[in-house]
Amino acid sequence: MKKILFPALLVVLGTGTAFATKMANKTEKATVPGYRMVQDENGDFACVAAGKNCSDIPTGPICQLADGTQLQEQISETFCDNLLREIP
């Protein structure tokens, strides 16, 4: 009985570890909404939602709209910073 139980336990443990590692790698791709800075008629800036999701992982091409506007992460209502990247 011990000769069968130990190898079966190792297979189950290995499968669980592989699944957990795969899930951990998937969660590192953080999806965040993209924002752009817009200046109003008073000269004040606002951080406006662009309607496109991007990634905050700093690798890959820069996330941008069709017109070339680069999208950033919203820090506050009046400030955007940290260029976002395209979702792989």
Dihedral angle sign, alpha carbons of residues 32, 75, 82, 68: positive
Q: What is the pLDDT of residue 29?
A: 61
Q: What is the pLDDT of residue 88?
A: 82
Burial class (CB in 10 A: 0-12, 13-18, 19+), 34: buried
Q: Are 32 and 52 in contact (CB under 8 A)?
A: no
pTM here is 0.63
At 10-58, the pLDDT tens digits run 555 556 565 556 555 555 568 999 999 888 888 888 899 999 999 999 8
At 48-87, the pLDDT tens digits run 999 999 999 988 999 999 999 999 999 888 889 999 999 9
Q: What is the pLDDT of residue 55?
A: 93
